[in-house]
Copies of this chain bind each other. A is one copy, B any other.
Amino acid sequence: MNKRALGQNGSPLHESVRAEISRRIADGIYKPGDVIMSTAQLGEEFGVSSITVKRALRDLQSEGVLTSIPGKGTFVKDRRRFIREVDVCMSSQDDARRHGFDTKIELISITKERITDPALSVFELPNKVLLCVRKVIYADGVPIMYDSAYVPTNIADEIVDEFGERYIVDALRRHNVDIKDMSIIIDASPASVEAQRIFSIPNGYPTLRRLYDLKTKDPATFVIGIVESPFDRLACSVRLNSLQLSKMVKTKK
Taking Cβ atoms with an 8 Å cutoff, the residues of A that contact B are 15, 18, 59, 62-64, 81, 83, 86-87, 92, 95, 122, 179-190, 203-204, 206-208, 231, 234-242, 245, 248, 252
A204/B62 in contact, CB under 8 A: yes
CB A18 to nearest CB in B, in angstroms, measures: 8
A235/B203 in contact, CB under 8 A: no
CB A154 to nearest CB in B, in angstroms, measures: 23
CB A231 to nearest CB in B, in angstroms, measures: 4
A185/B83 in contact, CB under 8 A: yes
Determine the chain B residues whose CB is within 8 A of the CB of A184 once the complex forms: 237-240
In the complex, given contacts A86-B86, A185-B237, what are 8 additional A-B residue pairs having Cβ atoms less than 8 angstroms apart?
A62-B203, A86-B238, A181-B239, A184-B239, A186-B237, A187-B236, A189-B206, A204-B206
CB A19 to nearest CB in B, in angstroms, measures: 9
Determine the chain B residues whose CB is within 8 A of the CB of A95 once the complex forms: 252
